[in-house]
Amino acid sequence: MGVVLGIDVSTTATKAIVIDGGGAVLGVASSGYGFEQPRPRWAEQGPALWWAAAQDAIPRALAAAGRTGDDVDAIGLTGQMHGLVLLDAADEVVRPAILWNDQRTAAECDAIRAAVGPRRLVEVTGNDALPGFTAPKLAWVRAHEPANWARAARVLLPKDYVRLRLAGVRATDKADGSGTALFDLAARDWSPEVLGALGIDPAWMPPAFEGPEVTGAVTAAAAAATGLREGTPVVAGGGDQAANAVGVGAVVPGRVAVSVGTSGVTFAATDRPLFEPAGRLHAFCHAVPGRWHLMSVMLSAAGSLRWFRDALAPGEPFGDLAAAAGEVPAGSDGLLFLPYLSGERSPHPDPLARGAFVGLTLAHDRRHLTRAVMEGVAFGLRDGLDLMVAAGMPRPERILGSGGGTASPVWRQILADVLGAEIATPATTEGAAYGAAVLAAVGAGWFGTVQAATDALVRAATVAEPGPDASAYAAAHDRYRELYPALAPTFRRL
């Protein structure tokens, strides 16, 4: 049997991984880049960076695996969601891509709600209009850059620009498409109603495919640039969160995943298009055919601990900080931390929200502050999980954990106690890139379904179960939930 290749076009690097028929990772390579912030709260990136990085990472991953392009049966793509790549009629880039973390479009979000109707927008797309999404970025370009708007003829998402260069086709997957606020969630395709209300030509949007569907094949030019074989199938793949869920096995209803990276994500696969009426959750199509998912996003999860370490314990290894926090009892002796250091999305879609320590006394030391940060992140994830349950999802007994935060035994146990579920972490740490490779394995015909692929390839390495501290955390979470309503007026004044 050959191998499959997963490519992850993230905000800071493009990663390529090679896996075999047993799911083993044979080779990994990554090529990094930065992004520009031309003004405060803006974030842009040149699409050429992604393709150059892919050309660098792909042959190095193959070499690390001891394989050549002739051994690759299929390729899967994943990457950062929501970014706007504008092309002209000749497929040339019109302007730098506006990224998911760009916050310039508050006025355009208001205009979208007014054009579609706030309730109707959530009913159709599953989501409120948020500055990170693609639709407000399109509206911003039309309002502020008329010359660029006049040149525009096509819209792609970031990973799909790499697809264009790799396979010569304009296409996306249904998971990434549903993160634009231009998708009909139930129909799993672009919404004529929303596109019409916003005055966007449907011909600009690429066709949307299910995650394991083949969208095209490697061109002769791309083969020469990467060392791949001309004609190698390229499957649709998925946005990074959906692909990460495939990589940890959250592909059937009832399976829930939590990722504790810079941001924090609670992800639940569903068999129908559920949504939260107030738009406090994201509701997207899954990268799995016939599946959807609910997603809660907090903006500063492990990022909160990084901030704390850099500000108060520079150079201290994260493992040492977390281990010392394990010496402190659950609840941090009455200390609470609100992790809204970058504003928040779920459960409070408030860009003005701020972080806070509440309850400090002379008895607290650095260990207490560290544990309070870890607990505050877990409470924020619990808020998102509770919203999902209220939207109709059964409360899980087992959660699939990933991201750097779950590498800490102390943090894993806090998560198990706060979320009230067993936390199982996968054997591989390659995340979304691994999920893209699994989707490629299905597209290559190795497996008949995505579930069959994950059942065969994805294995749990470590497990934490709820312990005796769970009841204490339930009471602490009640106190935590009182903080945002009490402090929100102060945040706005600040």
3 state SS for the chain: CCEEEEEEECCCEEEEEEECCCCCEEEEEEEECCCECCCCCCCEECHHHHHHHHHHHHHHHHHHHCCCECCEEEEEEEECCCCEEEECCCCCECCCEECCCCCCCHHHHHHHHHHHCHHHHHHHHCCCCCCCCHHHHHHHHHHHCHHHHHHCCEEECHHHHHHHHHHCCCCEEHHHHCCCCCEECCCCEECHHHHHHHCCCHHHCCCEECCCCEEEECCHHHHHHHCECCCCEEECCEEHHHHHHHHHCCCCCCCEEEEECCCEEEEEEECCCCCCCCCCCEEEECCCCCCEEEEEEECCCHHHHHHHHHHHCCCCCHHHHHHHHCCCCCCHHHCEEECCECEECCCCCECCCCCEEECCCCCCCHHHHHHHHHHHHHHHHHHHHHHHHHCCCCCCCEEEEECHHHHCHHHHHHHHHHHCCEEEEECCCCHHHHHHHHHHHHHCCCCCCHHHHHHHHCCEEEEECCCCCHHHHHHHHHHHHCHHHHHHHHHHHC
Catalytic site residues? 240
List, in sequence order, every residue forming a beta bridge with 422; answer none if it has no partner.
Answer: 398
Could you give the maximum distance between any two Cα atoms of the chain, in Å? 68
Closest CA to 170 of 220, 206, 129: 206
